[in-house]
Amino acid sequence: MTPRSGVDAADARAPWVRPLVALVVTAVFAVPLYLVVVNVFKPGEHITGSPASVPWPPTLDNLKAALDRPDNLYWDGLLNSAEITTVSIVVLAVLSAMLGHYLCRTRSRFARATLLVLLAGLMIPPQVILVPVVRILRLTHLMTTLTGMVAFNVGYYIPFGVFVFAGFIRSIPIELEEAASLDGAGRWRTFWTVVFPLLRPATASVLIFLGVWIWNDFLDPLIILGPVGGTTVTVGVYRALGEHQSNYGQLFGLMFLAALPVVVFYFLLQKHFVKGLTGGAVKG
């Protein structure tokens, strides 16, 4: 993004005002973020005593404690989160690209109605469907399993995937596909060799946004994985909260470790985040 370079008259008169105000506002906004970072490296008893102080000398005890929990909460959670997130987003990208293609390229009343029903799913809160979802998962013996969690994610987030892909697929000229099929390529090959590579920006958006949402998801894994089927890192933080009175330091360590992958991911792919979000804003 390249904001305007033209300088306002007021900016020219007092050029230090805007940066100063911007810095102060951001600093106030970032206080909670600062608190997490400093308290991770501070001995537990100092967290309640002087929460805002700079952690000097820094300690890694909190991180070690979170990593070495006897119940293996962090490592189990990390493994589950990684598996659920990776499998879900890969399946979602593939299935929603294909479904989006089918719904955009088929000119039947059925396809049009299906697209509407699917997009209505964008605004269905998970609470509205969770009770029956649990029944369906019990019936199919997928309750409290990672497979069940992934299957639910695919069903629940596919409207978003189709929504993103549909916009892109419509912008690909159909002549391209017709040319490929004249050359003898079947639908399957045309899609994977001609269409899908052109959808790369949409695929990136889908993978990034769904990856963050699914990693951070709280309610769905809380209910579907339940207390026995293990947990994700996000639900793990919630579970550790119950015991925080005794161990604030470890809780901050756990929280830091749970958030770290997403935050690093965000810093690396910042441009894609912004592009994915603002594609719609600019187009209107």
Partner 1 sequence: MTALQDTLRDSRQPTRKTARTSARTRRSNLGYFLGFGAPGLLFYACFVFAPLVLSLGYSFTNADAFLPHTKFTGLHNYVKLLGDPDFRTSLRVTTILTLIIVIVPNVAGLAVAVLLNRNGRLYRALRTVFFVPVVLSSVVVSVVWQAMLTDGGLLDTVLGSMGVKHPPGWLSDPSIALYSVGWIASWQLLGFCTVVYLAGLQGVPDDLLEAAAIDGAGRWTRFRRVTWPMLAPALTINTVMLLITGFKTYDYVQVITHGGPGTGTTATVAYGVIQTGFTENKTGMASAMAVLMLIIVAVVSSVVLRLLQRREVEL
Residues in region 100-119 near partner 1 by CB under 8 A = 101-103, 106-107, 111, 114, 117-118
Position 271 contacts partner 1 (CB under 8 A): no
Cis peptide before 126 (omega within 30 of 0): no
Q: Is 16 in the site for partner 1 (CB under 8 A)?
A: no
96 near partner 1, rule: CB under 8 A: yes
Looking at residues 124 to 143 of the shown chain, list those that interact with partner 1 (rule: CB under 8 A): 124-136
Which positions from 150 through 179 interact with partner 1, judged by CB under 8 A? 151-152, 154-156, 158-159, 162, 170, 174
Task: Confirm or reject binding of residue 198 to partner 1 (CB under 8 A).
Answer: no
Least distance in angstroms from the C-beta of 227 to partner 1: 12
What is the distance, to the nearest Å, from the Cα of residue 175 to the centroid of all Cα atoms in its chain? 35
**51 counts as binding partner 1 under rule CB under 8 A:** yes
Contact between 146 and partner 1 (CB under 8 A)? Answer: no
- Give the DSSP letter of residue 186: -
User: Radius of gyration of the chain from Cα atoms?
Assistant: 24
Answer yes or no whether residue 195 interacts with partner 1 by CB under 8 A: no
Structure tokens at 247: 């161990």
- Alpha-carbon torsion, ordered 10, 13, 18, 21, to 10 deg: -110
Task: Name the residue nearer to partner 1 (CB basis): 60 or 113.
Answer: 113
Residue 30 lies near partner 1 (rule: CB under 8 A)? yes
- Residue length, the chain? 284
End-to-end CA distance of the chain: 17
**Distance in Å, CB of 245 to partner 1, minimum:** 11
User: Residue written as tokens 């993103």?
Assistant: 164
Residue 188 as a binder of partner 1 (CB under 8 A): the answer is yes
- Residues from 65 through 94 that contact partner 1 (CB under 8 A): none
Q: Does 246 bind partner 1 (CB under 8 A)?
A: no
Pick 64 or 138: Cβ nearer partner 1: 138
Which two three-digit tokens encode residue 114?
Answer: 């299906």
209-230 burial string, b = 16+ CB within 10 Å, else e?
A: bbbbbbbebeebbbbbbeeeeb
